[in-house]
């Protein structure tokens, strides 16, 4: 069996965990980081989540990735090469599961930056949708863990229809609000 997907109650300490890591990353990346945002479920107050801090770093240019990849590696982040590297290189720490932090690097002002933050902000403002999302995550985690299918990728793919619907609704409604 792969990784166990664990959904835990919201922890207000996640904000502090993000802030601490954001400061470390900013120290390593300096001006390469145009923005560093807390995203994912741990960024939504009150939302149950996997206890993994998701961080989105917006940079001017995604390629070549070496300038930010080498700085993140010095902080203990492992780059996981994937076809998504074209629009969102992914890093995690520690190397082995369970991870404590995921970093997604996106182009500043690009669609991936907007989509992620629109999803987060929409969930913050729409508690009924956030509740639907928690119910889906719990159901999928139980199914994947019981069937031995629990991998981060399979779990993410199982949520993708819901996430895409919410992202579309959020973008149509003018999220993220900072644009």
**Which residues sit opposite 93 in a β-bridge?**
101
**pLDDT for the residue numbered 165:** 98
- Can you identify the CATH homologous superfamily of domain 13-172? Beta Polymerase, domain 2 (3.30.460.10)
pTM to 2 decimal places? 0.92
Convert the pLDDT of each residue in 12-51 to its tens digit: 999 999 999 999 999 999 999 999 999 999 999 999 999 9
Minimum mean pLDDT range among 1-5, 20-24, 70-74, 104-108: 1-5
Higher pLDDT, 122 or 81: 122
Question: 151: pLDDT confidence band, cut at 50, 70 and 90?
Answer: low
Parse the chain into domains and list their residue ranges: 13-172
- Is the predicted pLDDT of residue 5 greater than 80, yes or no? yes
Q: Which long-range contacts (CB under 8 A, 24 or more apart) does 96-100 make?
A: 97/2, 97/3, 98/3, 98/4, 98/6, 98/51, 98/52, 99/52, 100/51, 100/52, 100/53
């Amino acid at each position: 069996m792969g990784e166990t997907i664990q959904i835990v109650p919201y922890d207000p300490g996640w904000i502090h965990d993000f802030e601490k890591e954001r400061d470390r990353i900013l120290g390593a990346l300096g001006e390469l980081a145009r923005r560093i945002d807390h995203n994912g479920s741990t960024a939504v107050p009150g939302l149950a989540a996997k206890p993994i801090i998701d961080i989105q770093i917006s940079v001017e240019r995604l390629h070549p990735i070496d300038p930010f990849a080498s700085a993140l590696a010095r902080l203990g982040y492992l780059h996981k090469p994937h076809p998504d590297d074209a629009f969102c290189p992914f890093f995690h720490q520690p190397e082995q599961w369970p991870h404590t932090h995921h970093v997604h690097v996106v182009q500043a002002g690009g669609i991936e930056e907007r989509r992620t933050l629109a999803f987060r902000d929409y969930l913050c403002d729409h508690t009924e949708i956030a509740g639907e999302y928690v119910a889906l995550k719990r159901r999928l985690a139980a199914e994947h863990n019981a069937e031995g299918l629990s991998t981060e990728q399979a779990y993410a793919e199982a949520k993708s229809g819901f996430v895409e619907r919410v992202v579309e609704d959020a973008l149509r409604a003018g999220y993220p609000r900072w644009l």
